[in-house]
Structure 1
Amino acid sequence: MLPTPSQIGQLAQRSGSLFIYAATLSVLSLTAESTKKHAEIDVLYTAILRSALEEAQMEEHEAEDVKLVLRTVLFAQEPISVETIAVLAGLDSPQRVYFALQLLRSVLHQSEDTKLVSTLHASFPDVMLSSDRSEPFFCYIVNHSKRLAERCLAVMKDQLEFNICKLESSFVPDDKVEDRGGRIKQPISPTLAYAFRYWVNHLTLAPRSDALLKWTRAVM
């Protein structure tokens, strides 16, 4: 899959003195028709992750934060905010997410407009979800889906409440509700909205477990 002109421009703008950005730009732009494209991209992404996770000054818990943020963004069903990443990854501060994003800036992207985080290029998830291509950084979707399902269910259990939008009557049609957008946005955080929409997606990919069954019953 070739990068779009806007993606190429973005990579070029962000390269600056960082060689890894220039390398990313070069490989993604020039290897789409090469017989060695997979090998070159795989080596590039492996080098990026090795640099991020084997930083000499980084503590063990910081490296674990980087892995959690990476997997959370990889398996998220849509671009998500830093605050949502923190909750889904089980991190107690958005600052821990920002730290990880700084190290992962060659593979993850935070939109300047929406501030939402996603993978920088579609080739990255393809590599990370293939054990043959991404060792030793392979992301096993089943394991992290269990964590994401548990976190989504925990958010719903903590934040959902009866008549959360404070409607005066349940007999009023949706299109007749005054300031419907404001009533929804104010009590429903982006994290709760994500959890409510996608908990089933993550649950479906997770292995059956007593813990997940307990969480599901608690929410239902």
Structure 2
Amino acid sequence: MEPLKKFSASSVGPVLIVIEALDESGISETQRNLLRILTGKLKDKGLPQITELPSNFRILVTSRPDHDIDKQFEGACHILRLSMDEIPAAVAERDICAFVSDKLEGLSRFGDKEFANLAAKADGLFEWARLACEYIKEDLPGVNARSCFETVITRDPGKWTDKLYDMYQLILSDILPRDRYRDDEYQEALAGFRSVMGQILSMAEPLPFDSLTALRDCFPSHNKDYKVDIMQYMGALLSGTSGSPIPVRPLHASFQEFLTEKSSSGDFFVEVSKAQQCDLAFASLQVMENCLRFNICDLKSSYLPNSGDPELPQRVKTSISPHLSYSCRYLAAHVSASDFDSELANTIKLFDDDERLLFWIEALGLLNAIRGAIIVLPLIAQWLKVSTWLPDNVG
């Protein structure tokens, strides 16, 4: 705040800060702290208030209509609240038409009429328009863009609230077409889809494609055979599917809601279960077993604090992979969210008795997450106590 106050509006000009999807801004504690900053409720700590920003600063926040967020914003006189429902339908349709014409530019036999029909069909839902464009452009064997357009434009999902779910059904049915499989093959393909998507939805933090694969390779044998390859066909629904460093996650929160709502998703229903948490706990332990080593970032002296090594942040990035970093930081979260499992308990016991326990603590320090070690051990101890019995070699 202090440096910002020194800038004059005339020398800097208008500054716009955009916070996209506040309702998806991480765990509840993160969101709560961000809301306290935005609403100017830091007076009790004697901290600078957001209302003290120079007059040339503006903050634009977007969010779905979350009750907790709306309640926090009530009474904040420096906040102007607007609802997307208040935007005239004609304005939204015009904008969607411009979006569609840009996305489908270059496709033969597509023009203003088709763009206008798609925009009208979207009924004000930009996400539906995006999905429709992705579906129409999708390069599937024996399917052309025109037939995809006709499929989209003639579908009748019923209520407008079902439009997105209907589009998800359409896209997933093309990825896993039932009529191209024998019944047993189809059920096996669905099991693989549910396992992979269950992993993605159960993650405490999204990881890139390669890291998800590395973590899955460490799953217990009954699940590791399901490969993440299916994600390569889900670019319309997930980010990061091309193997880039971008984390893999649903592009829209409604896709996760669709998958976890059985009445809507049908065959594509994904249950986020304690068994998946157990698989992730096993995988995290296995990744740590395989990848942790003494002095993993090649520190030259144990007498020099981490802050005294200017090259250390880069070495941390190159020496500690994203899946190893994830495993070190979120092991406890997955263990405590699992039902008691004697095999997992024995694996934890072996890890605790091994020198890698010390390597893990060192890695947490390098990741600036040493506080996690203080939290982890009591959580795991509490998890172990949920069973009425413990083998003699566990405890």
Q: Which of 90, 111, 122 pairs up with 2:253? A: 122
1:14-53 → structure 2 map (5 Å cutoff): 14-18=134-138, 19=148, 37=161, 39-53=162-176
Deviation per CA, 1:125-175: give whole Å up to 9, x if none.
122223344333332222222211111111011111232122233332221
- Aligned identity (percent) is 24
The CA deviation at 1:100 is 0.9
Residue 151 of structure 1 corresponds to 283
Change in 2 beyond 3 A, CA 1:17/1:177: closer
Which stretch of structure 1 is more off in the superposition, 128-137 or 167-176? Answer: 128-137
Please state whether the residue corresponding to 2:231 is helix, strand or coil.
Answer: helix
Please state whether the residue corresponding to 1:186 is helix, strand or coil.
Answer: helix
- Which has the greater radius of gyration? 2
TM-score, normalising length from structure 1? 0.73
- The question of whether the paired residues in 2 share the 8 Å contact of 1:80 and 1:117 is answered with yes
Q: Whose relative contact order is higher, 1 or 2, with alpha carbons under 8 Å and at least 6 apart?
A: 1
Please state whether the residue corresponding to 2:319 is helix, strand or coil.
Answer: coil
Aligned mates of 2:336, 2:218 — CA distance in 1: 24
Q: Which of 300, 309, 320 pairs up with 1:177? A: 309
Aligned mates of 2:310, 2:261 — CA distance in 1: 49
Residue 142 of structure 2 corresponds to none
Please state whether the residue corresponding to 2:278 is helix, strand or coil.
Answer: helix
Aligned mates of 1:82, 1:91 — CA distance in 2: 15
Amino acid at match of 2:319: P
Residue 80 of structure 1 corresponds to 207
Amino acid at match of 1:41: L
- The question of whether the paired residues in 1 share the 8 Å contact of 2:231 and 2:241 is answered with no
Give the gaps of 5 or more residues in structure 2: 1-63, 66-83, 85-95, 100-125, 139-147, 353-395
The CA deviation at 1:75 is 2.0
Please state whether the residue corresponding to 2:294 is helix, strand or coil.
Answer: coil
TM-score, normalising length from structure 2? 0.44
Amino acid at match of 1:137: F
Give the gaps of 5 or more residues in structure 1: none
Residue 219 of structure 1 corresponds to 351
Please state whether the residue corresponding to 2:339 is helix, strand or coil.
Answer: coil
CA RMSD of aligned residues (A): 3.8
1:196 partnered with 2:328:
yes
Amino acid at match of 1:109: S
Change in 2 beyond 3 A, CA 1:133/1:208: farther
The CA deviation at 1:108 is 1.3
Residue 90 of structure 1 corresponds to 217
Aligned mates of 2:267, 2:189 — CA distance in 1: 18
Aligned residues: 207
Amino acid at match of 1:42: Y
Change in 2 beyond 3 A, CA 1:45/1:10: closer
Aligned mates of 2:241, 2:130 — CA distance in 1: 11
Change in 2 beyond 3 A, CA 1:136/1:204: farther
- The question of whether the paired residues in 2 share the 8 Å contact of 1:72 and 1:88 is answered with no
